[in-house]
Amino acid sequence: MFLTCEGTLGIVPATMDYSGQARPGDFHAGYQQIEGINLGYLQINGTQMFALAQVLSDLFKDIPRTTI
């Protein structure tokens, strides 16, 4: 399961891209730093997606999953 990140809180963190130049219909992966935490992502057709499990365990580690 993935979580998309489009315009989240107006934050535009730096990204590290590992695929070279993206073309429409292609996908690429990289890391993006959010709140000082590096999260891996996939970008497919212009939509950046983060693994929900990693977001919950790394970014929202102080919030119980049952609360979310």
For every one of its 68 residues, what pLDDT tens digit does the chain have, with 9 covering 90 and above?
556 655 444 444 455 555 555 455 688 999 999 889 999 999 988 889 999 889 888 988 888 888 87
Instruction: Indicate if the alpha-carbon torsion angle 36, 51, 47, 21 is positive or negative.
Output: positive
- Provide the residue range defining the domain that includes 54: 1-11+29-67
Which is nearest to 34 in space by CA: 63, 61, 5? 5
pTM for the structure as a whole? 0.58
Instruction: With respect to residue 22, please indicate whether it lies within any of the assigned structural domains.
Output: no
Instruction: With respect to residue 20, please indicate whether it lies within any of the assigned structural domains.
Output: no
pLDDT at residue 19, rounded to an integer: 54
Instruction: With respect to residue 21, please indicate whether it lies within any of the assigned structural domains.
Output: no
Vertex 8, ends 36 and 21: CA angle to 5°? 80
